[in-house]
Amino acid sequence: GAGVSQSPRYKVAKRGQDVALRCDPISGHVSLFWYQQALGQGPEFLTYFQNEAQLDKSGLPSDRFFAERPEGSVSTLKIQRTQQEDSAVYLCASSLAAAGAAGTQYFGPGTRLLVL
């Protein structure tokens, strides 16, 4: 595709439900990132993949958050037992650059999650 795509664009979940957010990166991009953006704030790093390897998950706020990229392309961010504080926009970005090399990250439109 021409850019990074994410689905769903909007998700409303009841507290305690599990949710799965999908990211399709730009074809050929080695690196994939997930960020969380709260209202009025800048995006905050969650986790990073190079191909299928999850190289950094230091930003995941709790063990309820889990991300995977099994074939090195599409990635899924899963949140178990959602809480109200999980309400945010979840952004996915991809980059040609591999680990250790500075590179431009290109962002998808985000998934806006609202937990009631």
Partner 1 sequence: DQQVKQNSPSLSVQEGRISILNCDYTNSMFDYFLWYKKYPAEGPTFLISISSIKDKNEDGRFTVFLNKSAKHLSLHIVPSQPGDSAVYFCAASGRGGGNKLTFGTGTQLKVEL
- Interface residues toward partner 1, by CB under 8 A: 4, 6, 31, 33, 35, 40-45, 48, 55-56, 59, 91, 93, 95, 97, 99-110, 112
User: How far is the C-alpha of 81 from the C-alpha of 108, rounded, in Å?
Assistant: 25
For the CB of residue 111, give the shortest distance to partner 1 in the complex, in Å: 10
- By beta-carbon proximity to partner 1, the closer residue of 86 and 110 is 110
**Taking Cα atoms as reference points, which of 20, 22, 8, 13 lies closest to residue 92?**
22
For the CB of residue 16, give the shortest distance to partner 1 in the complex, in Å: 27
User: How far is the C-alpha of 61 from the C-alpha of 59, rounded, in Å?
Assistant: 6
Buried b (16+ CB within 10 A) or exposed e, 37-57: eeeeeebeebbbbbeeebeee
For the CB of residue 81, give the shortest distance to partner 1 in the complex, in Å: 26
- By beta-carbon proximity to partner 1, the closer residue of 41 and 62 is 41
- On whether the CB atoms of residues 91 and 43 are closer than 8 A, the answer is yes
For the CB of residue 25, give the shortest distance to partner 1 in the complex, in Å: 12
